[in-house]
Amino acid sequence: MGSTTNEGGHGGVALEAAKPSVLLVDDSQDNREVYAEFLAGSGFMVEEAADGEEALEKAVALRPSLVIMDLTLPGLDGWETTRRLRKDPRTRHVPVVAVTGHATAEDSSSARQAGCNAFLAKPFLPDMLIAEIRRLLGTP
């Protein structure tokens, strides 16, 4: 999973520039590897972050098309990270898909109140994630 940029199409093949970029935020390296491989194979450029602080830095630097946010993160959790993304004018319009093992209706409501556009409870099928991403990005 190499580093990607989303700045004016510099340094990449034209086909690469056409791919939507996803910032995958999860503290589990295993989860990141599995989802990143699946996302890349589904036509997305993928950047990873292991915690909320790293996610904020990368979201501002890379301006991804979408963020996949684990809500249970060490330090700055996914709820607060999403709130901060929403407060920043550079990232406030980036869709956020919350993914979590906390599957109550209250968790879903809290995630949406924090600014998440969608909510998936773990475990979920990778195809469900792809469908949600494509729905939010308006792509086939």
DSSP 3-state of 62: helix
- Beta strands 21-25; 96-100: pairing state: unpaired
pLDDT of residue 107: 78
Domain ranges of the chain: 18-137
d(CA 135, CA 65): 12
Q: Which of 1, 35, 27, 42 lies closest to 123 in space, CA to CA? A: 35
Which structure tokens are listed for 72? Answer: 């249970």
- Beta strands 118-121; 96-100: pairing state: parallel
Average pLDDT over residues 110-119: 92
Say yes or no to pLDDT of 84 above 50.
yes
Helix (H) or strand (E) holding 69: strand 66-70
Average pLDDT over residues 43-54: 97
d(CA 65, CA 94): 6
Instruction: Quickly state the pLDDT bin for 140 (edges 50, 70, 90).
Output: confident
Q: Domain spanning 18-137: which superfamily?
A: Response regulator (3.40.50.2300)
Instruction: Express as a percent the part of the chain with pLDDT over 90.
Output: 72
Check: CB of residue 50 under 8 Å from CB of residue 32: yes
pLDDT of residue 58: 98
User: Each residue of 115-136: pLDDT tens digit?
Assistant: 999 999 988 888 999 999 999 9
Say yes or no to pLDDT of 73 above 60.
yes
Average pLDDT over residues 59-83: 96
Is residue 102 left, alpha or beta, with left meaning phi > 0 and alpha meaning psi from -120 to 50?
A: beta
Instruction: Quickly state the pLDDT bin for 108 (edges 50, 70, 90).
Output: confident
Average pLDDT over residues 22-27: 98
